[in-house]
Each structure stands twice: as structure tokens, then as C-alpha cells.
Structure 1
Amino acid sequence: MYVIIPAFNEALSIDKVIAEIPDFVEEVVVVNNNSSDHTAQAAKDAGATVLDEPRQGYGYACLKGIEYLKNKNPEIVVFLDADYSDYPEELTDIIAPILNQNMDMVIGSRNLGNKEPGSMTPQQIFGNWLATTLIKLFFKVSYTDLGPFRAIKYQSLVDLAMVDQTYGWTVEMQLKAAKKGLKVTEVPVKYRKRIGKSKVSGTVKGTILAGYKILSWIFKYALK
């Protein structure tokens, strides 16, 4: 089992995230996404494998991590944010449905779990609601969240042929999983205020671009 962590200027939090990942994980892969701080060194010092992806974008970083796994052929891949908003120790709960129920993918749902007040901005909460409502309307699949903490069978991930390079990564994965009929479930996860400022929801530009990208993916697939 491998964990992929995209990281852009998360030097203050990345070591905490890595330290709390369960020991049974074979390798933690941090993708340094053009950071201007010492994120890469902090991740190396914490014991992670560090890859550099200079092209800015969450999707670019995830794709870089997947490329690295080509020769590893893991059973399960877990995606986790670098800002310490997730609880890495809950990885055990995230992978349990794959191991015990033969699920293909598991989404860590912040809406089903316990969110610390202020951990999600109003625009994040509304965006999640709108996206999941539209997915249910168009694709008859019920999600409660587009949360970044998720696990997927490696072969299922390869079969999805992910392409998004920036903000649409999570919704692309969930849409393609729905279209392909993958067995997907959600598990409740805790969520806390992140360390540092969000590069997406913490800026007007990031919020607008993320919203546009997510809705673009939904309508693109709805019209196919």
C-alpha cells in the first residue's frame, strides 16, 4: 500500500502528516509541487520519498505520484492532503472497505464525520453540496463529499485513466468511478483546521477556478 501526498508550500505541516501515517504503509510518496519553502526537505527528513513536479496543480502532482507507482504495482493507493487537516491515523478506516468488502474505492467523507468549526469555508461547503447534488441528479450516484482523503485499488485507478491537472482531480475520479460502475463507498472522517492558508479556498481566484473546473467536469460527463 502506497500513500501519495501532493504538497505545495506545506513545510510547517508535512512532517506531522507523515508521522501519523500507520506503519504498515509500504511507502509514503510526497510530490513537491513547485514549493518555494523547504517542504521537500521536511518530507525527506520525515522519511518520505520525495518527487518534484514543477508544473503547478493538484492534478499534476497526483499524476506524478501515479507515474512513480508504475513499477511498484501496489494493491491500494491512498491520497492524503499535506496540510494536516485530515487525520492520517484514520487511514485504517479508509482502506477497511476495500480489504473487507472488496470495494474498489473509498471516499473519506467530512460531511458524515466530525468537522471542526471553521475547518471548511462557506464556499467549500456550498461547492461540495452543489457538486454532489448535481452528480446525484445526473448520474444517480450518491456522494456526500469530494474529500481528498481517499483510497482506491491500484488497478481501478489505472483503469480510470485520470487526466485532470488542477482543481478537478477529485470530482473526475468520482465521476469516472460512477460511469464505470466501480464499487464505491464513503466512510466518515474527522477534519480540522489546516495549518497555514489554503491555496484554493483561501483565495478568491482559487475558489472561482476550482468551482469552474468541478462544474465543467460534471456537465462534460452529463452531456456525453
Structure 2
Amino acid sequence: MRIDVIIPAFNEEQSIARVLAEIPAGLVREVIVVDNNSHDQTGAVAAAAGATVLREPRPGYGHACLAGMAHAFARPAAEQADIIVFLDGDYSDFPADMTALVQPIVRNEADMVIGSRALGERQAGSMLPQQLFGNWLATTLLRWFYGARFTDLGPFRAIRREALQRIGMQDTTYGWTVEMQLKAAKLQLRSVEVPVRYRRRIGISKVSGTVKGTLGAGYKILWTIFRYL
């Protein structure tokens, strides 16, 4: 199956080459790094490592993901990817876990697979208390209101290209991951989780590493959950 990877990246000059180097050889057709208005050499480093680099000047995780999707969907119909994987560029995820991540789709057992950090092995300090609480709250609300049983809003995920197109993603900032999961539940897509490993990221998180980012993400996630009821 053809697999394309989309990596949104903002100021990940120190980590992006390591992420790209650890993507399993032969598994992926194209790696798309979306330089989300970085102020460093993220784009140049990614290009030197062999990635397709797009530049999205509008800040926001969702903006970057949408730009990567637009590039992937612009291929002729016969060349469209079967699976699209989303992966962060900060080296907190283990790209080698991608092989296990896509297997439920390859075996036709799922339409979307979430890499669950809650079910996997986490390095001490890799997730801050506010992240753990936010994940618990969001997944609890998803279960109550949408009947969706998830343990994580982890950004490391794989989805069938047709399913992603059906979902019709719109969020441009912090609500991206929860929007995908709740819409998948509303469409009754087959969603599963697989355990993934997680480590302390390189550099400071733009979300959980600041008070502004933490509050902004929390508000947007909750707003998104209630918006689609």
C-alpha cells in the first residue's frame, strides 16, 4: 500500500533530521515536511534529508496539516496514497513504530489508527501533568458524547486516505487531533489504538511548554468537542 507521511514542523531544526532518518526504510513513498513559518533552518535541513518541503506561512498545527494534505491530494487519482500518516517533527515519537501503526489498516481491520502514548512506554517527564489531565478529560468527553473509546489524542496516527477525505478536516490550530477523532466516530469509521513509545522532545513544546499554549490548547479542544455535538 502507498503510504505518505505528513510532518508539521515549527522551529524543529535540531530534531527534524533525526525524525526523518528513523522512518522505516522502504515503508513510505513520500515524506512531506510542512515548514510552518519557522524562524530557523527547519525547511533546509528537511530538504537535505530527502523530504518534500512545503512552506505554510500561516501559524497553526492544523494549517500545516491541511497544507500537507492538499499536496497529497493533488496527485492524479491513480497515484493517490492509500494511507496517510501524521507524525510530529520534535523527535518525541518513535518513527520506527510506524510499521506497527499502519498494520491494522493494511490488514483491513481499521480505517484510522491512533498511536496511544497512554498504552505505550513513556519516558519519565515526556508528558507533563497538564497533558495527562487534558488527555484524560478529552477522551472521557469523547466517550460520553460520541461513544468513542480512545485513551489518547496522540498526534502520531495513520488513516486511510478515503476516510481522511470523508472526514473533511477544518481545524487550523489546537483542535486538529480531537476533530479527526470525533468526526471518525460520527461517521462510524473503524478506529483502533496501538501502543507507541514516547520520549522527551528536543526543545521546548510550543503547547504544553508555555502557559499560553496550554490554556489555548485546552480551550480549543473543549470548544471543538462541544461544537460538533
Matched to 1:158, the amino acid is Q
2:19 maps to 17
Q: Equivalent residue of 1:6, what SS?
A: strand
What is the CA–CA distance in structure 1 between the aligned matches of 2:109 and 2:81, rounded to whole Å?
Answer: 16
Q: Equivalent residue of 1:152, what SS?
A: strand
1:67 alignment partner, one of 58, 67, 70: 70
Matched to 1:80, the amino acid is L
1:46 maps to 49
Deviation sequence 1:172-220 (CA, Å, 0-9, x none): 0000000000000000000000000000100000000100000001111
Matched to 2:18, the amino acid is K
Counterpart mapping for 1:170-189 below 5 A: 170-189=177-196
Deviation sequence 1:39-87 (CA, Å, 0-9, x none): 0011001110000000000000000000001233110000000000000
2:223 maps to 216
What is the CA–CA distance in structure 1 between the aligned matches of 2:133 and 2:99, rounded to whole Å?
Answer: 29
Aligned partners of 2:148 and 2:182 also within 8 Å: no
1:147 maps to 154
What is the CA–CA distance in structure 1 between the aligned matches of 2:173 and 2:216, rounded to whole Å?
Answer: 9
What percentage of aligned pairs have identical amino acids? 61
The list of structure 1 runs, each at least 4 consecutive aligned residues, that deviate by more than 2 angstroms after superposition, is: none
1:102 CA displacement: 3.3
Q: Equivalent residue of 1:101, what SS?
A: coil
Report the TM-score, using the length of structure 1 for normalisation. Answer: 0.98
1:33 CA displacement: 0.1
Matched to 2:198, the amino acid is Y
1:123 matches 2:125: no
1:94 alignment partner, one of 98, 101, 122: 101
What is the CA–CA distance in structure 2 between the aligned matches of 1:43 and 1:144, rounded to whole Å?
Answer: 31
Aligned partners of 2:122 and 2:198 also within 8 Å: yes
What is the CA–CA distance in structure 2 between the aligned matches of 1:221 and 1:112, rounded to whole Å?
Answer: 27
Matched to 1:71, the amino acid is A
Q: Equivalent residue of 1:34, what SS?
A: coil
Contiguous gaps of at least 5 residues in structure 1: none
What is the CA–CA distance in structure 1 between the aligned matches of 2:29 and 2:225, rounded to whole Å?
Answer: 34
CA RMSD of aligned residues (A): 0.7
Aligned partners of 2:113 and 2:193 also within 8 Å: yes
1:82 maps to 89
What is the CA–CA distance in structure 2 between the aligned matches of 1:146 and 1:137, rounded to whole Å?
Answer: 16
Matched to 1:107, the amino acid is I
2:7 maps to 5
Report the TM-score, using the length of structure 2 for normalisation. Answer: 0.96
1:124 CA displacement: 0.5
Aligned length: 222
